[in-house]
Amino acid sequence: MSAPLLTPAVEHPASLLALFIASSKDIQASQHQLLILLITAVVTSLSVFRYFKTPGSLFTQYLPFTRYSITSIAANESTSSALDLVFTGTSNLSDQHTYTSLPTSDTIKIKSLFIYPIKSCRGIELNSTSFTRTGLQHDRQFVFALGPAPYSFITQRTHPKMALITTSISGDQLTISWPGNYGRFNHRTTFSVPLDAAAYKHAEKAEVKVWRDMPTSYICPVLKGKLDALASFLGVKGPEELVLFRVAEEREVFRCAPKKEQLGWQPKVGFQDSYPVSIMNLASVRHVSEQLAGEGVLRGEGDKDKDKDAGIKDGEIEVQRFRPNVVFEGPGAFEEDCWKEISLGGPDEARWNVSCRTTRCKLPNTNQETGEKHPVQPDRLLRSYRCVDEGAKGTACLGMMCVPLVEGRIKVGDEIRVGKRGEHFFLRT
């Protein structure tokens, strides 16, 4: 476990000066990093005086909003800061485009782990995590929805800028952050809510529509001004109001999931689309990238600037576009298509039911770094050769959906053993 990471929840640029002071005391940063941060902090702090009539108002109206959070979930956890001057490890997926080939191996290992505390917002990369029968700890326990009642959930499918909403966890708080409106200073607006369900015991509840389900959920206590600002950022129009919900009651999973008659209990999820955990073979994504490069990216469609913003360079498609929980390496492309049960988690191996293939919508067309949506790719390519499930005709499949059969813990580097193989037939209802 690494030392705690300092994650500034910066609501105003002046807080960078305080960040420099805290950084020099609390973390080991290079002299070069601290010098850059100091210069940025001073310049930024001076620039904000034009927003106030007197210097005194800067301290009474501005600095009280500065705050910090210490994040120590895992060594490689993704965090956010005002100027992307963060002290984090290197992503376990940093080499996903740098090697020329991915040799097949009899050994299958976990390459990377992700959780997405808020459905359809940016994920947090981890080195290790606990899991229960309902999925990885803290995964998709919150969702944004539009009202008034009946509330309906939103995702990147209709609001691609949700990819730019970051989350961080500090103790029992979940901090939400998104790009603000301070130009080159990359100001970010933030707010925090309680992380655990116990804190919502007396909170107001409401039903929120998640596909065909209407689970009763907790309404998170967030200042209306914050939600209005976020709604404006996302492009929400008209009288609709943005609300953040937390899981109160879980939704039962049927379709391809194992039945209560088999397990003694019916699988459940929070705000996941359908199943508790999604897994992805790195070689399969590499194959998609290679095919896309061979296709000439867009076959001349769209404009080059849009292609650049959408992040499709030389056919490279990032694993993150598919928003998996577990990324693994070792087997050849699409070997996972026939998995039915796997064991993972080191010495105390836990069994996961591999319930079905993951059917793909157009969400992966959105670049998870820029929030820009490509008009056709990779959806068009996937539908041209990955409609492989007879139960999901006309729908592309990539990755697999799983149900943990017990609780446990997994980490990067753990081996995955395939216990059962067989045919899959996707059930839509």
pLDDT of residue 13: 44
Q: Cα 326 to the chain's mean position, in Å?
A: 12
Q: Where are the domains of the chain?
A: 1-89, 108-114+253-421
The CA angle 18-37-59, to the nearest 5 degrees, is 30
Q: How far is CA 134 from CA 24, 275, 278, 305, 339, in A?
A: 41, 8, 12, 41, 20
Q: What is the mean predicted confidence (pLDDT) over 410-426?
A: 97
**Looking at per-residue confidence, does 184 or 381 come out higher?**
381
| Whole-number Å distance between alpha carbons of 234 and 156 | 10
pLDDT more than 90, % of the chain: 66
CA dihedral over 22, 26, 27, 28, signed as positive or negative: positive
| Whole-number Å distance between alpha carbons of 127 and 236 | 35
Q: What is the mean predicted confidence (pLDDT) over 52-74?
A: 34
Q: Is the pLDDT of residue 172 over 50?
A: yes
**Average model confidence (pLDDT) for the chain?**
81
Helix (H, G, I), strand (E, B) or coil at 129: strand
| Whole-number Å distance between alpha carbons of 225 and 239 | 15
Q: What is the mean predicted confidence (pLDDT) over 149-172?
A: 96
Bridge partner residues of 247 (DSSP): 217
Which CATH entry fits the domain spanning 108-114+253-421: 2.30.30, 2.40.33, 3.30.450, 3.30.2030?
2.40.33
Supply the pTM of this predicted model. 0.78
| Whole-number Å distance between alpha carbons of 269 and 249 | 9
pLDDT of residue 294: 74
Contact 39, 33 (CB under 8 A): no
- Among the listed ranges 24-33, 86-95, 177-186, which one has the minimum average pLDDT value? 24-33
Which of 337, 332, 292, 286 has its CA nearest to residue 313?
Answer: 292
pLDDT of residue 101: 58
Question: Tokens standing for 406?
Answer: 């017990």
pLDDT of residue 38: 54
| Whole-number Å distance between alpha carbons of 189 and 67 | 12
**Looking at per-residue confidence, does 324 or 238 come out higher?**
324
Tell me: the pLDDT tens digits for 8-27?
Answer: 334 444 444 444 444 443 33
Bridge partner residues of 124 (DSSP): 115
Q: Is the pLDDT of residue 42 over 70?
A: no
Which of 255, 244, 91, 109 has its CA nearest to residue 165?
Answer: 244
Q: Is the pLDDT of residue 283 over 50?
A: yes
**Looking at per-residue confidence, does 303 or 219 come out higher?**
219
Contact 116, 140 (CB under 8 A): yes
Q: Is the pLDDT of residue 108 over 60?
A: yes
For 300, left (φ over 0), alpha (ψ -120 to 50), or beta? Answer: left
- Among the listed ranges 63-72, 242-251, 366-375, which one has the minimum average pLDDT value? 63-72
**Looking at per-residue confidence, does 67 or 10 come out higher?**
10
Task: Tally the C-alpha atoms within 13 A of residue 15's C-alpha that lie toward its C-beta.
Answer: 23
- pLDDT band per the 50, 70, 90 thresholds, residue 62: very low
- pLDDT band per the 50, 70, 90 thresholds, residue 59: very low
Tell me: the pLDDT tens digits for 335-368?
Answer: 999 999 999 987 778 999 999 999 999 999 999 9
| Whole-number Å distance between alpha carbons of 332 and 79 | 32
According to DSSP, the β-strands at 205-209 and 151-153 are parallel
Contact 304, 255 (CB under 8 A): no
Tell me: the pLDDT tens digits for 111-143?
Answer: 999 999 999 999 999 999 999 999 999 999 999
Q: What is the mean predicted confidence (pLDDT) over 82-97?
A: 64
Q: Is the pLDDT of residue 4 over 80?
A: no
pLDDT of residue 39: 55
Question: Tokens standing for 59?
Answer: 């301290």
Tell me: the pLDDT tens digits for 288-317?
Answer: 999 988 765 544 344 455 555 455 666 689
Across the beta sheet with 188-194, the strand order is 166-170, 173-179, 188-194
